[in-house]
Amino acid sequence: MSDISIIGAGSWGTALAVLLHKNGHNITVWSIMEPEIAMLQKEREHKDKLPGVKLPEDMIFTTDLETAVRNKDVLVLAVPSPYTRTTSHSMQPYVSEGQIIVNVAKGIEEKTLLTLSQIVEEEIPQAEVAVLSGPSHAEEVGRGIPTTIVVGAEKKATAEYLQNIFMNEVFRVYITPDVLGVELGAALKNVVALAAGIADGLGYGDNTKAALITRGIAEIARLGLAMGGRIETFSGLTGIGDLIVTCASMHSRNRRAGILIGKGYTMEQAMDEVKMVVEGVYSAKAAMGLAEKYGVQLPIIEQVNAVLFDGMPVDEAVKNLMLRDKKIENPLIPWEEG
């Protein structure tokens, strides 16, 4: 049994709190918002973000960050990506040397082009930072629907320790040392999911969705390899697996926002309608910054940026993708002469 705190009481943080409690651990959930904590204490259910999932009576809820952080075996950092740096900065004084922090949010910081675990390491240098990611909607994990996921950590012993903490009969956990690859797949698939949603909003079909998923993972892998990630990661759960589920499911806030944009909503209107942080919007500009830095072409992500931030009509963005210069699908496959 471990003492674990969930830092962030959104849908994903709450679902993981339920999972870890079922695994026999002592769970504390922190939120900066007093009304949210009061609601969780009274209702024992996150009625806004995870309705129908009951929270145990012995689960602790608090707005006191020091209480949540000090002397815990594991800290699960589950705040939305735009708040990763500020929350980590606030946590830093209370984190002990070697304390394990598992980041479960997905994104890239626009100004610095850092992944979220790199931000945590920068703000809390004394911590041991790992990541958890994969095709896993909170709505399904909270209900105990079978799910597979990946823990990334530099040390194998840390990855195995977290694997044992999270894994059960409905939540299968794999481990990998490719932390960078895991995080890039997790962040960039949200941008591609916006494109998939836009296509759905325009009324396009399965052919279009398959094209976006397939060429989307090619873009993610292209950038990931240039940055030092492993191709095996992008063909696995946190690459193609997470991309499929995020592009195809109505649980996906990125796909839902994209559908609204495809129907004519502005980015701001779509985000207001979804009522949750749409991570892909925050990662889209950062992805183009990384593409420029590493000299990599990301045509789908480039067109998503043009729609989100430059006012390009969505049908024109699709036309730009379809009429690009002729390409070979995989330049690594040689032609036989003759």
Annotated catalytic residues are: 189
- CB atoms under 10 Å from CB of 306, counted, come to 18
Calculate the CA dihedral of residues 76, 161, 27, 14 and round it to 10 degrees.
50
- CB atoms under 10 Å from CB of 284, counted, come to 29
In whole angstroms, give the CA distance from residue 242 to residue 42. Answer: 34
Compute φ and ψ for 226, nearest 5 degrees.
-65, -30
At CA 178, angle to CA 174 and CA 181, rounded to 5?
105
Half-sphere exposure of 15 (CA within 13 A, CB side): 20
Token digits for 273?
A: 């309608």
Calculate the CA dihedral of residues 168, 169, 175, 179 and round it to 10 degrees.
-70
Using a 10 angstrom Cβ sphere, with 0-12 exposed, 13-18 middle and 19 or more buried, the burial of residue 143 is middle
In whole angstroms, give the CA distance from residue 215 to residue 219. Answer: 6
Token digits for 327?
A: 């390409």
Nearest to 116 by CA among 159, 87, 139, 147: 87
Strands (E), the chain: 3-7, 26-30, 45-46, 50-54, 60-62, 74-77, 100-103, 128-133, 147-152, 171-176
Write the CA distances from 328 to 210, 317, 332, integer angstroms: 18, 21, 9
